[in-house]
Amino acid sequence: MTTSDFNAILPVLVLTSWACVLLLVDLWIPKDRKAITAWLAAAGLAATLAVVWLLSGFNLSGFGGMVALDGFSRFVSAVVLVAGIVVVVIAPGYLNQRQIERGEFYILLLFTISGAMLMASASDLVIVFLALELLSIPLYVLAGFARPRAESEESALKYFLLGAFASGFFVYGVALTYGATASTNFQQIAAAVAAGQANLLLLSGGAALILVGLGFKVAAVPFHMWTPDVYEGAPTVVTAFMSVGAKVGGFAALLRVFFTAFPALSANWAPTIALIAALTMTLGNVAAIAQSSIKRRLAYSSIAHAGYILMAVVAGGAAAFSQFAASSALFYLLAYGIMNLGAWAVVIALEKRDGTTNPIDDFAGLGAARPGLAIAMTLFMLSLTGLPPTVGFIGKFYVFRAAIDAGYMWLALIGVVTSLVSAFYYLRVVMVMWMKPGEGPVALPRSLGWVVGVMAVATLVLGVVPAPLMAAAGRALLSLFASA
């Protein structure tokens, strides 16, 4: 191992080292002052974000080409780190109110963020698997963090069992891929196919099983079954991160694997993913209509948005690896993270202290009691629907355009129709907030108010001025397409 090897994983190394140190430091922090652990965790995330920024412009490969530090990994890492900082800011008040404030929450969060970052950097299927487990195992524990609440423990068990099942598919896919190409390295797999040295039938089977494993992580149909129950039972602050961090990590691996390891199979996997995208958008939006719980409604919304992102993945593979389509996927991931974290922050503000599920009617009267909070939630709902002038509208415009350019007009039409369907359940929340009487003022911690405000401003500003973010996503993909 050389210095360049460690430089290639420096951001992940910084964060995991900080988490290990914090695990020891937390032993000396009194139980009633765990907010100190939260601020230390936030400092670690900020320091890692600074390292990512300082490494801008460097393209490094390490450990025999198994990991890569490039624009793509830096972009994804920045998104996940910012999401982590947002959750750490929200978490102390939420955990303290429910008497589940324990220092290990923040340490587990740092480890799962490290896993998501490593998924974006992986250039070998073995590293993808290790990163997938590093992302998932802490999340299993965090889902059950509200013990002894039965709902939280049930969500952790369901997530663990189905996650282990999906990991089995992924590992079997890796084995088939190795059998077909004698390698697990992305570039070597692509080179073996290009040289005619791969067993294409075996390789197609491996790619299909890898898609199953990653499809579970991004909550795509038909691998979505865990999502509503886990989102509902887990502590809401965990659900907020899970809906963004796990999805970003899963899509980062999906883009890197299929665009750099399996480009020659795009004629096979693009139509398959197109069908999955159509089913995901349809089921997610239609099933959300029947949900009376805001957490389950946002869970099905999360499934639906995975379908929109998959639309860009399809377009990227079908249109000779269109950089615009892949950039659209990255743009949508960030846009979804902003508006979704904002929506979950409002849900946390209204959630009862016993952790019971919020029915939609709990939003009644919010417009009169907390007009600022109601305006922000209205903005998030409009953005999730895909209405201008929000970042959600721009995100959908980009992915629909990418699908049409790639010849998937029918998929874009399904996206438009399902977006219209989603307006019913998103705008119903808006109607309840502004048109139904409620109980009275809502207590809003200052940190939570800041998060809601910042997310609302970002939702609006990036909807009006999206070009710099789209350009950054395009630059992030240059190294990925250079290796494709």
Q: What is the pLDDT along the chain (484 residues), one digit of tens a residue?
A: 676 777 788 999 999 999 999 999 988 888 878 888 999 999 999 999 999 998 887 788 888 888 988 889 999 999 999 999 999 999 888 888 888 888 889 999 999 999 999 999 999 999 999 999 999 999 999 998 887 778 888 888 999 998 888 899 999 999 999 999 989 999 899 899 888 888 889 999 999 999 999 999 898 988 888 888 899 888 999 999 999 988 999 999 999 999 888 888 888 888 999 999 999 999 999 999 988 888 899 999 999 999 999 999 998 876 555 678 888 899 999 999 999 999 999 998 888 765 555 778 888 888 888 888 899 999 999 999 999 899 999 999 999 999 998 889 999 999 999 999 999 999 999 998 888 877 666 677 788 889 999 999 999 999 999 988 888 888 877 766 555 5
Element containing residue 62 per DSSP (H, E): strand 60-62
Rounded to 5, what percent of the chain is helix, strand, coil? 80, 0, 20
- Point out which residues pair with 416 in neighbouring strands: none
Instruction: Count the Cβ atoms, other than its own, within 10 Å of residue 229.
Output: 17
Residue 169 φ then ψ, to 5°: -60, -45
The predicted pLDDT at position 140 comes to 93
Domain borders along the chain are 266-484
pTM assigned to the model: 0.93
277 and 264 in contact (C-beta within 8 Å)? no
379 and 387 in contact (C-beta within 8 Å)? no
284 and 303 in contact (C-beta within 8 Å)? yes
Dist CA 411 CA 413 (whole Å): 5
DSSP three-state, residue 397: helix
Could you tell me the two tokens for 239? 């659900």
The predicted pLDDT at position 18 comes to 95
The predicted pLDDT at position 440 comes to 60
Dist CA 49 CA 52 (whole Å): 5
CA atoms within 13 A on the CB side of 356: 5
Residue 185 φ then ψ, to 5°: -80, 135
What torsion, rounded to 10 degrees, do the Cα atoms 280, 171, 160, 337 define?
Answer: -50
Could you tell me the two tokens for 57? 């412009």
Dist CA 216 CA 309 (whole Å): 14
Element containing residue 195 per DSSP (H, E): none
Dist CA 142 CA 88 (whole Å): 13
Could you tell me the two tokens for 95? 């955990």
What torsion, rounded to 10 degrees, do the Cα atoms 467, 471, 477, 478 define?
Answer: 150
The predicted pLDDT at position 483 comes to 53
Could you tell me the two tokens for 417? 């129709």
DSSP assignment of 440-468 equals ------HHHHHHHHHHHHHHHHHHHS-HH
DSSP three-state, residue 224: coil
The predicted pLDDT at position 399 comes to 93
339 and 275 in contact (C-beta within 8 Å)? no
Dist CA 134 CA 128 (whole Å): 10
Instruction: Count the Cβ atoms, other than its own, within 10 Å of residue 230.
Output: 27
**Helices 323-350 and 71-97, interaxial angle, to 10°?**
10
Residue 83 φ then ψ, to 5°: -60, -40
DSSP three-state, residue 219: coil
Q: Say how many Å lie between the first and final Cα of the chain, rounded.
A: 26
Task: Tell me which residue has tokens 């809601």.
Answer: 452
Cα distances (Å, whole numbers) of residue 434 to 245, 358, 369: 31, 17, 10
107 and 26 in contact (C-beta within 8 Å)? yes
CA atoms within 13 A on the CB side of 221: 23
